[in-house]
Amino acid sequence: MITLDAKIPSGPIEDKWHNHLENAKLVGPRNRPSYDVIVVGTGLAGASAASSLAAQGYNVHVFIFHDTPRRAHSIAAQGGINACKNYREDGDSTYRLFYDTQKGGDFRSREANVYRLAQNSTAIIDQCVAQGVPFAREYGGMLANRSFGGVLVERTFYCRGQTGQQLLLGAYQALEKEIHQGKVKLYPKSEMLDLVKVDGRARGIVYRNMVDGSIHSIAGEAVVLATGGYGAVYYNSTNAVNSNTTAIWRAHRRGAAFANPSFVQIHPTCIPVSGDHQSKLTLMSESLRNDGRVWVPRKKGDKRSPGDIPDAERYYYLEERYPTFGNLVPRDVASRAAKVVCDEGLGAGSTGYSVYLDFRDAIAEKGQDVISEKYGNLFDMYEEITGESPYQNPFRIYPAVHYCMGGLWVDYNLQTTIPGLYAIGEANFSDHGANRLGASSLMQCLADGYFILPQTIGDGLQPLYRDKVSTDHPEFAKIEGEVRDRIKRVMSVKGDSTPLSIHKRLGKVIWDNCGMSRNETGLKGALRDVEALQEEFTTNVNIAGKSEDINQALERGLRLMDFLEIGHLMCRDALERDESCGCHFREEHQSEDGEVLRNDDNFGHVSVWEWEGEEGEGKEETRHQEKLDYEVLQPATRSYK
Amino acid sequence: MSKQDAKTTPRHNATISLNLRVWRQERGSSRGEFVGYEVNDIPVDASFLEMLDILNEQLNNRGEDSIAFESDCREGICGTCSLVIDGLPHGPGQCTTCQLMIRDFKDGATITVEPFSTGVFNVVKDLTVDRSALDRVIQSGGYVTVHSGPKPEPNSIPVEHAVVEDALDASACIGCGACVAACPNGSASLFTSAKIGHLALLPQGQPERNTRVVNMVEKMDEEGFGSCRNYAECQASCPKGISIKYIGRMNGDYIKATISGGDRRGEMQAN
């Protein structure tokens, strides 16, 4: 039975972080080299954490399934990163960023963590500029800002439509410097397949060398998971094709509690699905909603070309329904609104499941050059994929799975319920509640990696001085054996279904029942469907090739095993959260005009799931609660009207 | 059919067939060969890599080992995908392999698919190669040495708008290695100069400007990359359109750095 102690420091909210730092145990610079820290993943969170810890003096071991750290999927983040610099003097402040994030998340996140995130946001910009990240500048040489959804200020810093890439390169370069200096050892093409615990503490991982298939383990005093989210459970998503949940899911199976698994962000502006062959969905940055206007034809089945439809016959549904925020409502609201108009039969395109994002007016007002400088690469990317130019015709977009607010439960130190195991970035649940605001993911990853974890990890490490465990400990051989058995098992079924075909069907079940709109009947059916797919996987999967080799079918199969389990848990979590909040829209709980209806009395908490089953046996998950204390901000009905 | 022609004749829901000649090589040390595959009923809206997914599903169903190829983001930014298609790194068009669409190919065409193989990038298996030499070039100096922690207010150092845009043109590099694969000399000059050029333009890159260019250029040679002979094939094949002007600037910086005094780093360390 787990105990959930969030370790929130005492004092008023603006003093908590400083109080915490002043009371934390520290590891001195001379002792740091005697600690081995294992970091899994090198996205913004992993690369920034690994480089910061190495620069402090720790011995860092970094694991990636890519060939180089620069490939991690943070690279694909487009629009920007938030920080409450208040450069535009438009009323921004630490409190305002905290307020927007908490409200945007529909009051389902921990106040103390969110406030700390806002406090650290400005230092991230300073840090990245010092690294040489070329943020957009105004003509006078000052940093430029733009606006994102769910807020009334301009606090987003950006590098064209490739902010994630530039920030990741900054972190990657810092990491490469530490590799060069011997403080970081990189293990490329090495996928973590399990966590090793000794006496209840995380002490290492088991990984597979993806080139020759060999299984190894490594020991350390702490394990940091920075492996991103599990959005690829839906098969079609904006995640990369190799993004997966295995690291955090295997940690969960070893005792790390999982929080709010059903909280998944569906991003409103993606290129629509074109067919069954599709392997991924491409996001069109939310920043496009700054200048683009979203609409559908007012008339059902209007097949005219969008340019031929006059204004009076266009339904600018976001501007009409939400006059204050207009096209810049938060993502969950925008996505659901798109689904509603398409379900009503107003959608565009051959499938009827897309809406227009139109730059006609912005181009007329500002000129094509200005629009092109701001969004040029996004316009080009759209044209590459669809063969249509958004300068001539509006973008056609539809929501797609994008980000997981849920993740491993962590306390204020970013430590999971397993001592010595930390989760940072998208892999944890801590800051975005039931919906994340645009440009806040990069902020959270870098706050976790550059500033928070490096200052909280010492507290957990300090008592371990000279208490080392090596891979000679029998627990390592035992877990390695279990991993080898798992691989042997999936390779030996030799049935008729490929992992890809099962994954596609799993994705459809979760998308239809645990996506933008959820209800009891659908979720109960989905649980049965996922169980049937699990059975099919166990008895009928087919993986060709050898396990001692590069085998991408095997990689997919191993990841799919874990997607099947997390998909099941997501549906259970969505079923038991009998309210609507943020992304979690339960049809049973909606207001008269179709907005979410929260139930703070019964669900003003984080759902925290504990795995109690044994390896290979049933899925006994127990639901616990971390009650959310609303000390600063009383939950209110979220209105963007 | 050129790309432009293909775009003017939309054929949604249509399918085509392709004959592939794919380089298969069990591992780096073994002999490789081209193997022919016929792939039918490929939706024209599919991407080139999704066509390979379809082929791999068929191979897996037949109990055959699937073709190893790398990709990840599939939206042209991670730099993982790396195929030479009909002799061109990333195939026709200035985009990454993953952004290549089936609608850009003719029905019934025969297409040759090879890895990004050069003297430095060795084949790992089939269409995957080892590009870690590029990381080692970055390790030798492609960064600004700053620790995490409080930093000066960024607006205290104004940077001209045009300078930042120039820096961003260079730092748009995705590290795919197409420039190396395209170069008859196997040079990594475009890759290396893009990083040097990015940091040399910004005020934050100045303190280490001299040591950076010397170390990175020398590392590039040490890794076995060829030297630049101004073929400009790199620029033509770069999916991010990075200009060879950065190579010129790198060469200028290198000469300046070698005559302006050596690297004195290390002399100040206490231990």
Residue B169 lies in a domain: yes
Shortest Cα distance, chain B CAs vs residue A146, angstroms? 16
Place of tokens 């170069």: B183
pLDDT at site B78: 98
Average pLDDT value for chain B: 92
Residue B267 lies in a domain: no
Helix axes A44-56, A453-461, angle to 10 degrees: 60
Q: Give catalytic residues of A, as residue numbers.
A: 331
Using the beta-carbon criterion (under 8 Å), do A179 and B49 form an inter-chain contact? no
Residue A302 neighbours by CB under 8 Å, 6+ apart = A309, A313
Q: What is the ipTM of this complex?
A: 0.95
* B187 and B225 part of one domain: yes
Query: How many Cβ atoms are within 10 Å of A216's Cβ, its own excluded?
Result: 15
C-alpha distances (whole Å) from B254 to each of A314, B56, B246, B250, B264 are 59, 47, 12, 6, 17
Residue B271 lies in a domain: no
Residue A201 carries which side chain, given as an amino acid letter? R
Shortest Cα distance, chain A CAs vs residue B201, angstroms? 9
Using the beta-carbon criterion (under 8 Å), do B167 and A134 form an inter-chain contact? yes
- Strand duo B110-115 + B15-24: pairing: parallel
Residue B269 lies in a domain: no
The closest of A391, A455, A461 to A419, measured between CA atoms, is A461
Question: Domain A268-401 is of which CATH architecture?
Answer: Alpha-Beta Complex (3.90)
Shortest Cα distance, chain B CAs vs residue A508, angstroms? 18
Structure confidence by residue, pLDDT tens digits, A570-582: 999 999 999 999 9
Residue A399 neighbours by CB under 8 Å, 6+ apart = A266, A267, A268, A269, A270, A334, A335, A338, A339, A516
Which runs of E-coded beta strand occur in A199-350? 201-209, 215-219, 222-225, 258-259, 264-270, 293-297, 314-315
A13-263+405-464: CATH topology: FAD/NAD(P)-binding domain (3.50.50)
- Indicate the helix (H) or strand (E) that contains B124: strand B123-125
Tell me which of A614 and B128 has the higher pLDDT: B128
Structure confidence by residue, pLDDT tens digits, B93-123: 889 999 999 999 999 999 999 999 888 999 9
Question: For residue A259, what are the β-bridge partners?
Answer: A407, A608
Using the beta-carbon criterion (under 8 Å), do A545 and B159 form an inter-chain contact? no
In degrees and rounded to multiples of 5, residue A538 shows phi and psi of -65, -35
In degrees and rounded to multiples of 5, residue B89 shows phi and psi of -60, 130
- Residue A91 φ/ψ region, left for φ over 0, alpha for ψ in the -120 to 50 degree band, beta for the rest: left
Q: Burial code of B239-264, b = ≥16 C-beta within 10 A, e = fewer?
A: bbebbbebbebbeebbeebeeeeeee
- The A residues from 532 to 551 touching B (CB cutoff 8 Å) are 542-546, 549-551
Residue B223 carries which side chain, given as an amino acid letter? E
pLDDT band at A464 (very low <50, low <70, confident <90, very high): confident
Shortest Cα distance, chain B CAs vs residue A29, angstroms? 14
- With CA atoms as reference, the chain B residue closest to A71 would be B78
Q: Rounded to two decimals, what is the model's pTM? A: 0.96
Residue A393 neighbours by CB under 8 Å, 6+ apart = A305, A306, A307
Structure tokens at A69: 């750290």
- With CA atoms as reference, the chain A residue closest to B154 would be A126
Question: For residue A403, what are the β-bridge partners?
Answer: A265
* B48 and B105 part of one domain: yes
pLDDT at site B216: 98
Boundary residue ending a domain (B107, B125, B143): B125
Q: Which residue from A67, A134, A381 is facing B202, i.e. has the nearest CB?
A: A134
Structure confidence by residue, pLDDT tens digits, B13-27: 699 999 999 999 999
Residue B5 predicted with pLDDT over 90: no
Q: Is A141 on the interface with B (CB under 8 A)?
A: yes
Residue B264 lies in a domain: no
pLDDT at site B7: 41
CATH number at residue B57: 3.10.20.30
* B113 and B97 part of one domain: yes
pLDDT at site B1: 34
**Are the CB atoms for A633 and A101 separated by under 8 Å?**
no
Structure confidence by residue, pLDDT tens digits, A230-246: 999 999 999 999 999 99
- Indicate the helix (H) or strand (E) that contains B36: strand B33-43
Q: Is A125 on the interface with B (CB under 8 A)?
A: yes
Residue B261 predicted with pLDDT over 70: no
Residue B31 carries which side chain, given as an amino acid letter? R
Q: Domain spans of chain A?
A: 13-263+405-464, 268-401, 493-595
Structural domain boundaries enclosing B184? 132-259
Using the beta-carbon criterion (under 8 Å), do B80 and A66 form an inter-chain contact? yes
C-alpha distances (whole Å) from A499 to each of A230, A537, B53, B63 are 17, 8, 12, 13
Interface test with B, best of A18, A178, A384 (most B CBs within 10 A): A384
- With CA atoms as reference, the chain A residue closest to B3 would be A387
Residues of chain A neighbouring B142 (CB-CB closer than 8 A): 173, 176
Query: How many Cβ atoms are within 10 Å of A416's Cβ, its own excluded?
Result: 31
Share of chain B above pLDDT 70, in %: 91
A493-595: CATH topology: Methane Monooxygenase Hydroxylase; Chain G, domain 1 (1.20.58)
How many separate domains does chain B show?
Answer: 2
